[in-house]
Amino acid sequence: MKIQELARRSGLTAHTIRFYEKEGLLDGRHVRRDANNYRTYTEDAIERLGLIKKFQGIGCSIAELKEVLHDKDTHARTNREVIAWIRHKIAEVEAKKKEFDHILGTLHGMLEYRTKLGGNRHHGRTGRHGL
């Protein structure tokens, strides 16, 4: 299939698919060159892109994606190693959640303070956003 069909079926842009290919996340099992040098993508590319989207959705970087996909392709990690990786990823997400919870607390405090000031009255500007 051509890249536009793959983009439609995967929910990604052609630009993103080309980027993943350039980064080595798609290989000869997923993309081939025709005699006219056009790319032709296999059905396996749809599954691969779905996996990439899944792992990006949990916060994996491109480097982590390369590692995960390599491990999947070669079965290089034991189940224990995969479990350890998942636990590490959970710890990363929990740390980010704490950061976001702190930010939300600060924003709620700012909102409460401004709400108590009332209305649209001007109370002096302490910054670009008048906070």
d(CA 68, CA 60): 9
Give pLDDT tens digits for 57-95.
998 999 999 999 999 899 989 999 999 999 999 999 999
Q: Which carries the bigger pLDDT value, residue 129 or residue 18?
A: 18
CB 97 within 8 A of CB 91: no
Mean pLDDT of the chain: 90
For residue 37, pLDDT over 90 is answered with no
Instruction: Name the pTM for this structure.
Output: 0.73
